[in-house]
């Protein structure tokens, strides 16, 4: 029955020994001959920092994107009609569904079928994609891309993709959280945009009595923890060393943030629905006074005819909120990431594609809904926003500032904060429980998940 | 009629009608939903029909999705289901025949095993089969769906029942006396008599294979997906159910309705056109005592 | 003499007749079972590890919640099946008009065509108040959004309703068939004795259905423990509010595909298999439904 040795078999020690022996003999041979051609593969270990399969410059590449990234693919195809792409859309791993990882693992089992390029909405995929006997993600800084290109990314943009000093993918966009607000409504109501969480809570309670029906935030999405708790510097996602995780729900900042949200929730000024749901639009369109959230809300919600469709010159982004007397900090919601497969037979095409979608003006400046991670593109994107003046006030400055403020106390573990929040907190919250009461549940759920994923929990 | 009996009768009618609605409303709604535009789906009443142009628009949205991958999924489903059906029939009918009409060493064991395995839900063996196929490197190949599908103990049970109750041994013996060899007896005498049960086994096997989700989900990932698995891929492009799908190439709800309809159409048609035969078949196991 | 020879050759050719089926049964029934058992008792390196895999899986924080979820669903579903299928079968059997009776049976049966993911996707629509054909009913229960409808407390009921919708019709038809096998004279005699519909049902028809009802219960119990596609699709459609580790099979899937722990996955599969297998063996040995041989 054993027609082909599979990975499961290879893991067994006898076979491991054989594999090790073969590898060792290959090493000796290549050391003697002074060439690394013995591997039989065209793109050798030296060229890319991993064992590439035999390359075929005319092979079509399979690209996985979420539906929102389709324009990036279209722009690339228009610019490079000679590169053949097979495009497949998937959920992009949204809400921590884990579909990227589970699909890849299925192909690992099959021993074939991997996509060449994958877009993920999550920023923690490098944690697993760089690991294993057959890691999926190709290192990008070991020969695949020039360091001059990689240096072009905004400082820190590649941090979520860096594991043990090696970079395993490219960042699509930066996603710091900002304090979105409707300037015209603020003026009309005579309010000053808050700069601290304390002022934010006070504003919310005032709005509830003076202008009921208007909202100052939303807690229906699974990235609520990144917006509020990451931004509020609550230590709920601390990754130390390779395998240590901690979450502290009794930290004063965690509790304070939960109290702010409970207060606002009781006042009825937080939307319970996902900002992408039809219900959200039905209930709150035109009544969004404030909405702390990632920069990409710009193109995804406000400047989007199918969503909130704000009038030009009304919305703007305030700098991230701070605690009274402290420095402000930003949370971070995703910021998409691009990966190249180690199994790709056309790494050059994959490289060309990634270069285009992360840095080319024709996508990142002209079409992208959020702040590009590639700094030259980011500058132009911001300049374009300044010129269009759709977002008013100090939008450009504030977004630029926020990008430098992402709090480094949150890590990028192998599991998804979003999926834990969705299953442990969202339903209870919808059922009327207070967030303060739910904090221990949340902490336990996070620690359990961390433990199941091999972290030592403290 | 006494008032009590009258009330009882009314209660019975109410219950029967309620359940007719329960079973039928979702299907009727699905048919109607596929003819509406996304906007109409939310704004108009659930039981109003849309228009042919909207149906056409939904259809177009579905078939242009990823260059018509839906046809690939349907093709995969058809291939897996039919190939497995053939293997099932070729292995099942002779097995049921032998179990029913001759005694050989191991017959009782085989019969008991068949009964036991038949009562185990087919999902229970999916992970073990996946682990096994993974070890022999078959994952991702069409055979990884077809071969497990082909193992269909319920079919053996049905043919066994049929041959032991509906085919007179005398007839077979008569053929033997006429000088027919065992193979000829089976092929020329037993097989023609077995047409009803062959159709029945074929039906159950096809439906079970077509609707199977868990096994192909694990054993033939990616491009090898059948429509049932493809449908859930489609689902992740529906904005209402997935936030980041709020993009340009989103699948709208009515399009998903069309896809759902398409995914069940073959089975639904078989159901509609073979109703009498099916109902008779379903009861066969029980009433032929 | 000739007779003996022919019957020997008949028995010999039987092996040929059953060979294909036996091969498939070995390859996709026996072997995977043995292989899963072996994996569940070994490490990923293949060395014997005792019950280590089992204890790791059982100690996993997701295990007992998954057991509870599945148990709650199975309990509700079984009660619904036992009560409603019996009542509906008796009811349909009461309908005197032939075409009406068969028509009603067919309508009950038709959702059986929708199984797997298709049925779940259809039910996503039904459960979403914005598009549901029964949005009035949902609102009456206080469910104004999809997330409210699928709140954790409702899930066992929702899965039970979904499973009942697809599966009940088939059982109703089976029960109806069993009812038909009761000789007409028996029922007629009961009627002449003055037994009402209810008494006839309780004292004559139900006892006749007993075997079939227990058959249904056993099969459904075993099938219910296998819950997978329903919570999986709901999880996908609810932004993860329905967890992706709701049921035991989902957990086994996560062990294999997310944690790359095939041995842990095998341990869960073996536990589920033991449940199904014991129910099945118990029924085959004790049930009496298959006493033919």
Tens digit of pLDDT for each residue in C251-292?
999 999 888 899 999 999 999 999 999 988 888 887 665 555
A13 and C45 within 8 Å at the Cβ level: the answer is yes
Q: Name every chain B residue with its beta carbon within 8 A of the beta carbon of A94.
A: 242-245
The residues, ordered by sequence, that sit 6+ positions from A146 with a Cβ below 8 Å of its Cβ are none
Q: How confident is the model at residue A213 (pLDDT cuts 50, 70, 90)?
A: very high
Which of the other chains make 3 or more beta carbon contacts under 8 angstroms with chain A? B, C
CB contacts under 8 A, A 125-184 vs C, are 132
Please provide the DSSP assignment of B48-74 as one string. Answer: ----HHHHHHHHHHHHHGGGTHHHHHH
Q: How far is the alpha carbon of A16 from chain B, nearest alpha carbon, in Å?
A: 15
Contact status, residue A355 vs residue A152, Cβ threshold 8 Å: no
CB contacts under 8 A, C 246-285 vs B, are 249, 252-253, 256, 262, 265-266, 268-270, 272-273, 276-277, 279-281, 283-284
C147 and A220 within 8 Å at the Cβ level: the answer is yes
Contact status, residue B188 vs residue B180, Cβ threshold 8 Å: yes
Q: What distance in Å separates the CA atoms of residue A319 and residue C78, rounded to the nearest whole number?
A: 56
C252 and B127 within 8 Å at the Cβ level: the answer is yes
Taking the alpha carbons of C138, C144, C146, C149 in that order, is the dihedral positive or negative? Answer: negative
The whole-angstrom distance between residue A254's C-alpha and the CA centroid of its chain comes to 22
Beta bridge partners of A212: none
C-alpha distances in Å from residue B120, one per residue of A63, C66, C110: 40, 20, 24
pLDDT value, residue B54: 93
Residue C142's region, left for phi above 0, alpha for psi from -120 to 50, else beta, is left
All domains of chain A in start order, with CATH: 13-174+334-386 (3.40.190.10), 177-331+408-457 (3.40.190.10)
A6 and B42 within 8 Å at the Cβ level: the answer is no
CB contacts under 8 A, C 163-222 vs B, are 165, 169-170, 173-174, 176-178, 180-181, 196-198, 212, 218-219, 222
Contact status, residue A231 vs residue A329, Cβ threshold 8 Å: yes
pLDDT in tens, C45-96: 889 999 999 999 999 999 999 999 999 999 999 999 999 999 999 999 888 8
CB contacts under 8 A, C 30-89 vs B, are 31-33, 35-36, 39, 84, 87-88
C177 and B283 within 8 Å at the Cβ level: the answer is yes
Q: Residue A126: is its pLDDT beyond 90? A: yes
Q: How many CB pairs under 8 A join B and C?
A: 301
pLDDT value, residue B275: 67
pLDDT in tens, A335-349: 899 999 999 999 999
Q: What distance in Å separates the CA atoms of residue B264 and residue B145, rounded to the nearest whole number?
A: 19
The residue in chain B having the minimum alpha-carbon distance to the alpha carbon of residue C216 is B119
* Residue A88 DSSP code: E
A443 touches chain C (CB under 8 A): no
The residues, ordered by sequence, that sit 6+ positions from A247 with a Cβ below 8 Å of its Cβ are A235, A236, A237, A238, A442, A443, A446, A447, A450
Q: Is A378 exposed, middle or buried (0-12, 13-18, 19+ CB in 10 A)?
A: buried
Interface test with A, best of C240, C258, C262, C266 (most A CBs within 10 A): C240
The residue in chain B having the minimum alpha-carbon distance to the alpha carbon of residue C289 is B286
Under DSSP, is residue A433 helix (H, G, I), strand (E, B) or coil? coil
The residues, ordered by sequence, that sit 6+ positions from A319 with a Cβ below 8 Å of its Cβ are A178, A179, A195, A328, A398, A401, A402, A405
Q: Residue C187: is its pLDDT beyond 90? A: no
Q: What distance in Å separates the CA atoms of residue A301 and residue A309, rounded to the nearest whole number?
A: 7
C262 and A419 within 8 Å at the Cβ level: the answer is no
CB atoms within 10 A of CB C69: 22
Helix/strand/coil (H, E, C) string of C82-126?
Answer: HHHHHHHHHHHHHCCCHHHHHHHHHHHHHHHHCCHHHHHHHHHHH
Instruction: Count each helix (H run) and each strand (E run) in chain C, helices first.
Output: 16, 0
C-alpha distances in Å from residue C211, one per residue of A429, B155, C223: 47, 21, 18
Q: Residue C4: is its pLDDT beyond 60? A: no
B119 and C222 within 8 Å at the Cβ level: the answer is yes
Residue A115's region, left for phi above 0, alpha for psi from -120 to 50, else beta, is beta
Q: How far is the alpha carbon of C148 from chain B, nearest alpha carbon, in Å?
A: 14
Q: Which of C256, C121, C166 is nearest to B232 (CA)?
A: C121
Nearest to C20 among B91, B107, B283 (CB): B91
The sheet with strand A85-89 has its strands ordered as: A85-89, A61-65, A117-120, A337-340, A170-171
The HSE-up count of residue A412 (CA atoms within 13 Å, CB side) is 23
Average pLDDT for A353-375 = 93
Q: Name every chain C residue with its beta carbon within 8 A of the beta carbon of B190.
A: none
Q: Name every chain A residue with its beta carbon within 8 A of the beta carbon of C130.
A: 278-279
Q: Which of B143, C206, B138 is nearest to A110 (CA)?
A: B138
Q: How far is the alpha carbon of B95 from chain C, nearest alpha carbon, in Å?
A: 4
Taking the alpha carbons of A348, A353, A359, A361 in that order, is the dihedral positive or negative? Answer: positive
Characterize B223-261 residue by residue with b for buried, 16 or more Cβ atoms within 10 angstroms of its Cβ, and e for exposed.
ebbbbbbbbbbbbbbbbbbbbbbbbebbbbbbbbbbbbb
The residue in chain B having the minimum alpha-carbon distance to the alpha carbon of residue C2 is B177
Which stretches of A350-458 are assigned E, i.e. beta strand? 371-372, 456-457
pLDDT in tens, C136-148: 999 999 888 888 8
Q: What distance in Å separates the CA atoms of residue B168 and residue A28, rounded to the nearest whole number?
A: 75
B223 touches chain A (CB under 8 A): yes
Q: In the block, which residue shows the tokens 């694990």?
A: B218
Average pLDDT for A423-446 = 91
Q: How confident is the model at residue A94 (pLDDT cuts 50, 70, 90)?
A: confident
Q: Name every chain A residue with its beta carbon within 8 A of the beta carbon of C151.
A: 427, 430-431
For helices B153-166 and B275-287, angle between their N-to-C axes, nearest 10 degrees: 80
The residue in chain B having the minimum alpha-carbon distance to the alpha carbon of residue A91 is B236
Q: How confident is the model at residue B283 (pLDDT cuts 50, 70, 90)?
A: low
B139 touches chain A (CB under 8 A): yes
C85 vs C211, higher pLDDT: C85
Q: What are the helix (H) ranges across A319-394? A: 347-359, 375-388
Q: How far is the alpha carbon of C77 from chain A, nearest alpha carbon, in Å?
A: 23
Q: How far is the alpha carbon of B207 from chain A, nearest alpha carbon, in Å?
A: 26
Interface test with A, best of B247, B251, B253, B256 (most A CBs within 10 A): B247
A105 and C257 within 8 Å at the Cβ level: the answer is yes
Characterize C199-235 residue by residue with b for buried, 16 or more Cβ atoms within 10 angstroms of its Cβ, and e for exposed.
ebbeebbeeebeebbbbbebbbbbbbbbbbbbbbbbb
How many residues does this entry show for chain C?
Answer: 293
The whole-angstrom distance between residue A458's C-alpha and the CA centroid of its chain comes to 25
CB contacts under 8 A, B 52-91 vs A, are 66, 69
pTM: 0.86
Q: What is the CA radius of gyration of chain B?
A: 24
The residue in chain B having the minimum alpha-carbon distance to the alpha carbon of residue A113 is B222
Q: Residue A248: is its pLDDT beyond 60? A: yes
C174 and B231 within 8 Å at the Cβ level: the answer is no
Q: Is A58 exposed, middle or buried (0-12, 13-18, 19+ CB in 10 A)?
A: exposed
Q: How far is the alpha carbon of C214 from chain B, nearest alpha carbon, in Å?
A: 13
A170-171 and A337-340: which strand pairing?
A: antiparallel
A4 and B240 within 8 Å at the Cβ level: the answer is no
pLDDT value, residue B103: 86
Q: ∠ CA C163-C168-C172 to the nearest 5 degrees?
A: 170
How many residues does this entry show for chain A?
Answer: 458
B43 vs B254, higher pLDDT: B254
The residues, ordered by sequence, that sit 6+ positions from A447 with a Cβ below 8 Å of its Cβ are A245, A247, A457
Q: In the block, which residue shows the tokens 């934010």?
A: A200
Q: What is the mean pLDDT of chain C?
A: 88
Q: Is B93 exposed, middle or buried (0-12, 13-18, 19+ CB in 10 A)?
A: buried
Q: What distance in Å separates the CA atoms of residue A329 and residue B88, rounded to the nearest whole number?
A: 64
Q: ∠ CA B253-B258-B264 to the nearest 5 degrees?
A: 125
Interface test with B, best of C4, C8, C13, C17 (most B CBs within 10 A): C17
pLDDT in tens, C237-255: 888 889 889 999 999 999 9
Q: Residue A31: is its pLDDT beyond 80? A: no
Supply A440's token pair.
Answer: 């221990």
Q: Name every chain A residue with its beta carbon within 8 A of the beta carbon of C60.
A: 452
The residue in chain A having the minimum alpha-carbon distance to the alpha carbon of residue C144 is A279
Q: What distance in Å separates the CA atoms of residue A290 and residue A429, rounded to the nearest whole number?
A: 21
Under DSSP, is residue A167 helix (H, G, I), strand (E, B) or coil? strand
The residue in chain B having the minimum alpha-carbon distance to the alpha carbon of residue C179 is B287
At A372, give phi and psi (nearest 5°). -60, 145
């Amino acid at each position: 029955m054993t027609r082909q040795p599979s990975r499961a078999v290879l893991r067994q020690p006898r076979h491991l020994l054989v594999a090790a022996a073969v590898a060792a003999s290959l090493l000796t041979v290549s050391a003697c001959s002074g060439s690394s051609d013995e591997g039989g593969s065209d793109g050798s270990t030296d060229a890319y920092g991993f064992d590439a399969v035999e390359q075929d410059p005319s092979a079509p590449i399979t690209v996985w994107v979420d539906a929102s990234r389709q324009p990036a693919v279209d722009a690339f195809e228009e610019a490079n009609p000679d590169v053949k792409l097979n495009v497949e859309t998937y959920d992009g791993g949204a809400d921590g569904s884990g579909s990227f990882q589970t699909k890849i693992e299925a192909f690992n089992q099959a021993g074939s079928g991997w996509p060449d390029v994958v877009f993920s909405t999550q920023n923690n995929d490098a944690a697993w994609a760089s690991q294993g006997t057959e890691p999926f993600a190709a290192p990008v800084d070991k020969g695949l891309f020039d360091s001059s290109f990689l240096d072009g990314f905004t400082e820190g943009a590649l941090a979520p993709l860096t594991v043990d000093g090696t970079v395993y993918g490219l960042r699509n966009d930066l996603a710091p959280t900002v304090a979105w607000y409707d300037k015209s409504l603020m003026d009309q109501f005579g309010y000053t945009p808050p700069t601290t969480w304390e002022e934010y809570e006070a504003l919310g309670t005032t709005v509830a009595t003076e202008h009921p029906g208007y909202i100052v935030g939303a807690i229906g999405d699974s990235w609520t923890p990144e917006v509020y708790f990451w931004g509020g510097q609550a230590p709920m996602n601390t990754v130390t060393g390779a395998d240590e995780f901690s979450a502290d729900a009794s930290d004063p900042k965690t509790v304070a943030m939960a109290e702010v949200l409970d207060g606002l929730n009781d006042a009825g000024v937080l939307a319970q629905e996902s900002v992408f749901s039809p219900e959200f639009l039905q209930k709150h369109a035109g009544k969004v006074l404030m909405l702390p959230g990632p920069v990409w809300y710009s193109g995804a919600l406000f400047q989007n005819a199918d969503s909130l469709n704000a009038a030009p010159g009304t919305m703007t982004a305030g700098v991230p909120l701070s605690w009274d007397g402290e420095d402000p900090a930003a949370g971070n919601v995703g910021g998409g990431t691009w990966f190249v497969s180690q199994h790709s037979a056309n790494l050059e095409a994959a490289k060309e594609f990634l270069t285009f979608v992360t840095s080319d003006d024709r996508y990142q400046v002209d079409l992208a809904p959020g702040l590009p991670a590639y700094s030259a593109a980011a500058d132009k994107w911001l300049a374009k926003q300044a010129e269009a003046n759709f977002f008013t006030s100090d939008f450009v400055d504030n977004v630029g500032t926020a990008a430098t403020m992402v709090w480094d106390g949150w890590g990028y573990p192998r599991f998804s904060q979003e999926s834990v929040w969705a299953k442990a907190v969202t339903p209870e919250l919808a059922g009327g429980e207070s967030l303060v009461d739910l904090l221990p549940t949340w902490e336990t759920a996070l620690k359990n998940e961390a433990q199941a994923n091999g972290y030592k929990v403290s | 009629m006494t008032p009590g009996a009258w009330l009882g009768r009314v209660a019975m009618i109410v219950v029967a009608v309620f359940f007719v609605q329960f079973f039928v409303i979702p299907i009727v709604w699905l048919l109607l939903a596929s003819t509406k535009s996304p906007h109409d789906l939310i704004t108009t009443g659930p039981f109003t029909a849309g228009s042919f142009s909207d149906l056409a628009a939904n259809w177009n949205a579905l078939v242009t999705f990823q260059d018509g991958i839906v046809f690939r999924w349907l093709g995969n489903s058809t291939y897996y289901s039919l190939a497995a059906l053939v293997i099932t029939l070729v292995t099942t009918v002779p097995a049921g025949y032998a179990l029913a009409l001759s005694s050989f060493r191991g017959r009782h064991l085989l019969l008991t095993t068949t009964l036991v395995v038949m009562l185990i839900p087919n999902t229970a063996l999916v992970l073990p089969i996946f682990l096994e196929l993974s070890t022999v490197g078959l994952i991702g190949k069409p055979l990884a769906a077809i071969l497990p599908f082909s193992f269909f103990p319920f079919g053996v049970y049905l043919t066994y029942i049929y041959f032991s109750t509906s085919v007179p041994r005398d007839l077979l013996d008569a053929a033997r006396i006429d000088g027919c060899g065992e193979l000829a007896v089976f092929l020329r005498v037993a097989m023609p008599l077995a047409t009803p049960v062959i159709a029945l086994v074929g039906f159950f096997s096809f439906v079970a294979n077509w609707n199977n989700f868990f096994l192909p989900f694990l054993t033939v990932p990616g491009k090898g997906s059948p429509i049932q698995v493809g449908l859930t891929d489609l689902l992740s492009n529906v904005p209402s159910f997935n936030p980041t799908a709020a993009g340009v190439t989103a699948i709208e709800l009515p399009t998903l309705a069309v896809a759902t309809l398409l995914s069940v159409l073959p089975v639904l048609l078989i159901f509609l056109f073979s109703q009498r035969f099916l109902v008779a078949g379903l009861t066969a196991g029980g009433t032929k005592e | 003499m000739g007779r003996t020879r022919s019957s020997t050759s008949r028995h010999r050719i039987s092996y040929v007749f059953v060979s294909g089926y036996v091969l498939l049964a070995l390859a996709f029934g026996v072997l995977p079972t043995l292989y899963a058992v072996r994996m569940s008792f070994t490490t990923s390196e293949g060395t014997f590890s005792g019950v280590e895999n089992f204890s790791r899986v059982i100690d996993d924080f997701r295990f007992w919640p998954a057991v509870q979820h599945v148990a709650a669903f199975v309990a509700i579903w079984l009660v619904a099946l036992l009560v409603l299928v019996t009542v509906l079968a008796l009811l349909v059997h009461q309908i005197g008009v032939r075409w009406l009776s068969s028509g009603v049976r067919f309508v009950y049966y038709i959702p059986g065509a929708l199984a797997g993911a298709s049925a779940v996707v259809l039910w996503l629509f039904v459960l979403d108040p914005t598009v549901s054909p029964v949005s009035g009913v949902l609102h009456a229960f206080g469910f104004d959004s999809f997330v409210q409808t699928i709140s954790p407390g409702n899930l066992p009921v929702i899965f039970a309703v979904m499973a009942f919708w697809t599966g009940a019709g088939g059982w109703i038809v089976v029960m109806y068939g069993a009812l038909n096998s009761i000789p007409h004279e028996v029922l007629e005699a009961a009627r002449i004795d003055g037994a009402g519909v209810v008494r006839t049902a309780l004292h004559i028809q139900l006892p006749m259905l007993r075997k079939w009802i227990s058959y249904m219960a056993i099969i459904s119990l075993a099938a219910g423990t296998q819950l997978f596609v329903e919570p999986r699709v709901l999880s996908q459609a609810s932004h993860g509010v329905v967890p992706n580790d709701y049921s035991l099979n989902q957990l086994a899937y996560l062990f294999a595909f997310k944690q790359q722990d095939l041995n842990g996955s095998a341990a869960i599969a073996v536990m589920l298999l033991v449940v199904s297998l014991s129910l099945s063996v118990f029924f085959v040995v004790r049930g009496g439904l298959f006493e033919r041989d």
